[in-house]
Amino acid sequence: MISVDIEKKLKAYEGVRTLKMTADFPAGSITHIYGPSGAGKSTLLKIIAGFIQPEKGKIIVDGTTWLDTSSKINFPPQKRMAGFVFQDYALFPNMSVQQHLEYATKDKAWIERLLAIGKLGTLSTHKPEHLSGGQQQRLAILRALAIKPKLLLMDEPFSALDTEMKSGLIGDLKSIFNDYATTVLIVSHNRNELEGLTGRELKIGDSN
């Protein structure tokens, strides 16, 4: 179970607004987070991952407090080890596909499986600049999965994939999420693209 109760001021064009959110995410659940642009969806994921600190809040994961601003507990991202799929992919320009995965894990068999899932086996020596947008996005997903995270945070993870590739990948991801009881939070503008993957929905932005 992941409990999140945070408050963070966001700078917006029209002034400062506050992202307030209280929610529980059951272990192994997959939640689609949606809401208008600028509502703070990506910020929420970054707060949970430990990249951004909220003004106030508490994050408790399986009984362990990752963040509690009142008692100044704040685990660094390295200790949280939440898999993160970035909207801009954040691939390392100096590393090939294979090196990305080897940087994340030493498990060769797991790397082989991930390459097969992402259909990137034949491109394993390619660097990001030689991959298409869809291939880069798949690599970003595979890299996040490489550490077998208990919590996976995905920011617009399927935006560059075609329908066929997406449905195949989603099927494989469901199987992995089941195997490792991964709790997944997915930010996406398009509710339809997650069809068959998510069980829960959370809207951000109503109260802002």
Residues at the contact surface with other proteins, assessed by CB under 8 A = 46, 49-51, 76-78, 80-84, 86, 88, 90-94, 103-104, 143-144, 146-147
Which residue number, 23 or 81, has a Cβ lying nearer to other proteins?
Answer: 81
The least CB distance from residue 77 to other proteins, in Å, is 4
Residue 88, burial from CB neighbour count under 10 angstroms (0-12, 13-18, 19+): exposed
Which residue number, 64 or 207, has a Cβ lying nearer to other proteins?
Answer: 64
Which residue number, 49 or 123, has a Cβ lying nearer to other proteins?
Answer: 49
The least CB distance from residue 88 to other proteins, in Å, is 6
Which residue number, 105 or 208, has a Cβ lying nearer to other proteins?
Answer: 105
Long-range contacts from 35-38, C-beta under 8 angstroms, 24+ separation: 35/203, 35/204, 35/205, 35/206, 36/205, 37/189, 38/10, 38/12, 38/13
In this structure, what token pair is assigned to residue 55?
């003004």
The least CB distance from residue 95 to other proteins, in Å, is 8
The least CB distance from residue 148 to other proteins, in Å, is 11
Q: Where are the alpha helices (DSSP H) in 3-132?
A: 41-49, 77-80, 97-104, 108-117
Query: Is the Cβ–Cβ distance between 120 and 138 less than 8 Å?
Result: yes
The least CB distance from residue 120 to other proteins, in Å, is 17
Which residue number, 94 or 163, has a Cβ lying nearer to other proteins?
Answer: 94
